[in-house]
Every structure is written in structure tokens, then in C-alpha cells.
Amino acid sequence: MFQDLGLFVLLLGVLITVHELGHFLVAKACGVKVVRFSIGFGPKLLGFTKGDTEYQVAALPLGGYVKMAGDSPYEDVSPEDAQRGFLNAAPWKRALIVAAGPFFSLAFPVLIYFFVFVGAHEAISTRVGYVDPAMPAAAADIRPGDRIIAVDGDKVQTFEELRGAFVGRFERSIPITVEREGKQFIANVTPRKVVESTPVESVERGQIGIQPARKPAVVGVPPGSPAAQAGLKSFDRVLTINGVKIPDEAAFFEQVARTQGPLELTVQRSQPVEVGAVTGQVPSVTKVSVPRQQGEGFSALGVESSDLYVVAVSPGSAAEKAGIRAGDKLVSFNGEPLRSFNVLAGELSNLKEKPFQLTWRSAADGQEHTQTLTQAMRTSKDEFGQESSRLELGVRPWYPSSAELLPADTVTVHISVPEALRQSVVIVPTIIKQMVKVIGRIVTGEMSTKTLGGPVMMYQLASKSAEQGLESYLHLMAVISINLGVMNLLPIPILDGFGLLAAVWEGIRRRPISMRVREMANVVGLVLLVALMVMAFYNDVTR
């Protein structure tokens, strides 16, 4: 707890210092006297005086301030200090002083990201771990174990770069350079269009159906099939075939191809348990003997990939109301046979609230059912209590947990100083744009004010990011610094944005803003800020 508190105070302390340092340095450069430089509010804990300025750390580390001579029209100052007072400075100097704090808050993340990016890093490589059989990569004969070298002539080293290469590239043939067993060849792939939506924005991306991590061999068992009669069940994970370990689907297909007789399987399945009033699932290991069928892979066992088998149905969803249950298999969408859940997810994303026809096979009786459905809006909360809404059918296919996925191949990426600087300069404006969009959506009511957070949420974020490593902690520091800079530029009285606006206005009008207007603006600004703080604290408590 004390460590988490220390990380939280360090995070705030650094960001406050950087922001106030901007005001301080530019005020000094403009000849304005700085009386006090304070990190924190309230009683002084420690400090010292050097020259004209008192430097201090105060008890409440939720902000800071730079006290300048003559920054209040009600302040009594000596004639000497009045000449060096803030309000007596030229409007352009006041504008620079006020803007310096937000500028430092927005520039500091560039430095943070530079040190995060520069040097050697371990990243997930472009080696293919799994290929969706219904997606374009499979049609282009891309296989597990292949390495993607380039997309449309653009070289890619990491899987993140590979995903980024398909932004805006879809529904046309894309040449992909593939390496297999030391040899390179070109695979022409036509990515499918998907729309990835977040509360901030939507991105149109091409999808080819590959994953870096390797999936375990988990089966879907049709009702009444020889495999079902032999005792195999949907969602069983094959651990061995005739004594040979099966770590993933690639090994499963390989071993099945080598075996012509009966298949002696060791499988792991989840068994329901009940302890008092508590129910749950525990894994168990079972041996099953399955006669070999015609074909290869899953067909040789008379089973199917578990990809289209429903493992859970959301309560109250369109799927539950239609009668879809766990264990059912999704068969077709708008009359077209389904080969993978990713295809269905992409179609649903494009359809939004339009009705569609879905056919599924019941696990209870093996019969197929067809209904016309429409996705429904579902609101959910994340681990910090923030709400988000999205359209969904309400079915969850089987997919391995992070613990069940076999590790993806990694590569060491060396980022040079110029490239790290370039990436840093690019990412900060991107985050600024996203934050401006969020603020706009909150103001217009498109996003709930419940997404706002206060000190408690920041404490939780600091703790969680530190657990994930230094890079995650520094990323959080950069994002909050950008947030601090953007928020302070809002034209709300008491914030830097209003001070900047006032200085520009005085420069244009050639006369100062009247005392009455200043007083009214300060009252309005104070009320708004207090309301915002109360709302943030309330959200923290309710979470």
C-alpha cells in the first residue's frame, strides 16, 4: 500500500513540477518577479528561499502553483515589485507565461516516449501462430510457422506493425512477402474490411485472419456423431494422441496425418463442481478412444473446430431471447455458411443495428434453428467502473485464455535515436486529438460524465501500471501529462486557457479587462471547477 501511495505521489509530483516549471521559467525570462514556487497546496512541509523566490513542498500533493508579484489586482505591492508585477507585464508576455505551463505538460511526454522507445525492445514477431480457416490468409496458403516480411512493399518487424499496415488497406489484392523454411514468396491477399470501434473513434482496418499465438487443439463435437458416442465432448482439449503430446493445433493435424488406426486421446475438460452454495468448474483429464474417420485434421475424428461453438450467452441478450444456449453451434449468417467466428464478428460490426438471419444447431437435440435477430446495445463496466456501451449479439465463442495460449515468437527490435524521436513526436499529437474528441463528446453528451475520474482512479491506475512494468508506468505518466496540458488550455476562468484568452483579448483591445468582469469570471470558473472535482470524487466513490 505504501509503495502504491509513493508511486502515486511520485507521478503527481513529477507532472506538477513540470507544469509549474513552465510558468516559472518563462516568468523569470520575461522579467516578472516570482514570489513562490510551490509543489502542493496547504501548509509548507519543507522549503528554502533563493533570491526573490521561496521554493516549497506543501502538504496536499494534488496540484501546485507559481505565485508572481502583482498577479492579483487586490494585492498591495511595493512600487519596485509593481514594475515587475504580472499584471503590469505586456499582454504578449502574460500570454507566454500562462501558455508555458500547458506547453511544458504537452512537450514533456515527447521526452518520456523518447526514452521508452529508444534502444532494444522485445516485441511479438510477425511469425504466424494460427490461421483462421475462413479468412483470406488461409485462402492465400499462409500457414502457421510462416513469417510475414512485408505488406505491399512496406517492411514489418513486429506484429503491431503488421496490424498497423492494414489500416485503410482492404477489399483489394495486397501483395504480402512471406518467408517459409528460409525461402521468400509473394502471397496475394484480399483483406476483409472490419471496423474497430472505441469510445473515442472508429478505425477501418483490413483483416486477413492470422494470430501470433498458437492455439491448443480444442474440439467441437456434433451431437450423435461417432466421437460423441465414444465419449468426446465439445470444448475438450486434446493433450495427447496415441501417447504423443499435442501442444497446439499444428501438432494435432500433424499427428492425425501420421495415424491410420484408432486414435487414443487424452483430453482435458472442465467439470462442474458444487461446494455448498458455490458452483464452479474444475479441469479433469479423461482418456477417449475414437475410431478414425475419413479426411484429415478434425474430420479424421468426426469433430469440428470449436471456433463456432458457443461457450456462453449474455443474459438478456438477443441471442438468449432467441433460445441460443451454451454448446450450440452457429451454422450460417444470412444464408451463408459460417467457417469462423471472426467472419461473423466482422459482419455484425458492419451491420450495426440492421436485422440479420442466423442459423444455429442445438446441442440438446442436434436440430437447426433459424431466426431473424438484431443486435442490442449492452452497457458494461471495466475494472475501474467506467461504463461503455456497444452493440452485440450476446454470444461468446470458445477462445483460449492468456494462460492457455502458447507463447508467440518474439523479436528484438532496435530503435535508433532519430526513429525514437520521430515516433515520440508522432504519438503525442495523436493522443492530444483523442483527448480533445473525448472532451467534445462529454460536453455534447455523447459520452457519460461517469467516465471522469479523480485522485482515487489515478491512484489505481498508477498502482496497476507500475505492476505491469516501468514502460507502462511511464506511458501513464505521459498520458496524464497530456491530459493536464489539454485540460488547462480550456477557456475556463481560473485555468490557464482563460488567462491566455484574456491576455490575447487585452492585446487586441489595447485595454485591460474590467475588474467586475474578472470577478464574475473567477466566480463562474471556481463553481465549474468545484463541480467538476465533486463529480470526479463521486465517480471514484461509486466505483
Asked whether residue 319 falls in the same domain as residue 266, the answer is no
Determine, yes or no, domain membership for 296.
Answer: yes
Determine, yes or no, domain membership for 224.
Answer: yes
Asked whether residue 183 falls in the same domain as residue 202, the answer is yes
Distance, CA of 406 to CA of 415 (rounded, Å)? 27
Q: Angle at the Cα of 67 (from 64 to 73), degrees rounded to 5?
A: 130
Determine, yes or no, domain membership for 322.
Answer: yes
Q: How many domains does the chain have?
A: 4
Asked whether residue 272 falls in the same domain as residue 302, the answer is yes
397, 412, 428: which is the final residue of a domain? 397
In the block, residue with C-alpha cell 505586456:
90
Determine, yes or no, domain membership for 162.
Answer: yes
Asked whether residue 357 falls in the same domain as residue 373, the answer is yes
In the block, residue with C-alpha cell 484568452:
501
> Is there a contact between 204 and 167 (Cβ–Cβ < 8 Å)?
yes
Burial class (CB in 10 A: 0-12, 13-18, 19+), 202: exposed
> Is there a contact between 129 and 212 (Cβ–Cβ < 8 Å)?
yes
Burial class (CB in 10 A: 0-12, 13-18, 19+), 228: middle
Asked whether residue 325 falls in the same domain as residue 258, the answer is no
Determine, yes or no, domain membership for 422.
Answer: no
Asked whether residue 230 falls in the same domain as residue 261, the answer is yes
- Structural domain that includes position 280: 219-307
Asked whether residue 232 falls in the same domain as residue 165, the answer is no
pLDDT attached to residue 279:
57
Asked whether residue 107 falls in the same domain as residue 9, the answer is yes
Determine, yes or no, domain membership for 367.
Answer: yes
CATH number, position 343 = 2.30.42.10
Encode burial over 72-85: b for 16+ CB neighbours within 10 A, e otherwise. Answer: eeebebeeebeebb
253, 287, 307: which is the final residue of a domain? 307
373, 397, 421: which is the final residue of a domain? 397
Determine, yes or no, domain membership for 416.
Answer: no
Active site residue 20: yes
Determine, yes or no, domain membership for 463.
Answer: no
pLDDT attached to residue 274:
56
Task: Give the other-Cβ count within 10 Å of 295's Cβ.
Answer: 11
Biggest distance spanned by C-alpha atoms of the chain: 102
Those residues of the chain that have pLDDT short of 70 are 1, 198-200, 272-281, 381-388, 402, 543
Asked whether residue 279 falls in the same domain as residue 192, the answer is no
Asked whether residue 38 falls in the same domain as residue 141, the answer is no
Asked whether residue 67 falls in the same domain as residue 171, the answer is no
pLDDT attached to residue 273:
58
Asked whether residue 107 falls in the same domain as residue 39, the answer is yes
Q: Angle at the Cα of 164 (from 163 to 167), degrees rounded to 5?
A: 100
User: What's the per-residue H, E or C state across 306-356?
Assistant: HHHEEEEECCCCHHHHHCCCCCCEEEEECCEECCCHHHHHHHHHHHCCCCE
Taking CA atoms, 322 is separated from 222, 314, 338, 370, in Å, by 21, 12, 19, 9
